[in-house]
């Protein structure tokens, strides 16, 4: 979550001078998704401490979703800065991260229902 806060501040201040508004908006979307799914990881840990049996795969899927979904958007948003034509390679990775988020939420909910 600390990384999401730092990246959000970076987008709000430093990147605005380098990137067009549409790229800033994408970057901030990634920050928002990283924050939400980091909170989900914390929630799962708290539930486990209180006797709920949540699948360890939920953690992994949330973590990989953050890495692939948010990470690819961070890189895609900043392509103007580092000059890499990343869209061709990173574009297909973003939806994979989104699918991992969905799977993590479904698995977490299933674990809670099957308690």
Q: How far is CA 112 from the centre of its chain?
A: 22
> Beta-carbon neighbour count of residue 62 at 10 Å?
24
What pTM was computed for the model?
Answer: 0.87
In this predicted model, what pLDDT tens digit does every residue of 15-71 receive, in sequence order?
888 888 898 999 999 999 999 999 999 999 998 888 888 888 899 999 999 999 999
Instruction: Report which DSSP code applies to 15.
Output: G
To the nearest 10°, the Cα dihedral for 45, 46, 48, 51?
Answer: 170
User: Please, which pLDDT band fits residue 89 given cuts at 50, 70 and 90?
Assistant: confident
| pLDDT confidence of residue 18 | 81
**Cβ(34)–Cβ(73) below 8 Å:** no
Residue 83 has pLDDT above 60, yes or no: no
pLDDT tens figures, 57-73: 899 999 999 999 999 99
Q: Residue 106: what pLDDT?
A: 95
């Amino acid at each position: 979550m600390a990384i999401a806060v730092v990246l959000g501040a970076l987008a709000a201040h430093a990147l605005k001078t380098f990137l067009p508004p549409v790229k800033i908006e994408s970057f901030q979307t990634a920050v928002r998704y990283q924050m939400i799914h980091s909170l989900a990881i914390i929630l799962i840990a708290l539930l486990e401490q209180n006797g709920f049996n949540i699948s360890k795969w939920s953690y992994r899927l949330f973590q990989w979703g953050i890495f692939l979904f948010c990470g690819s958007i961070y890189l895609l948003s900043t392509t103007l800065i580092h000059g890499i034509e990343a869209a061709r390679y990173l574009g297909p990775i973003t939806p994979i991260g989104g699918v991992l988020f969905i799977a993590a939420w479904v698995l977490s909910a299933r674990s809670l229902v099957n308690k």
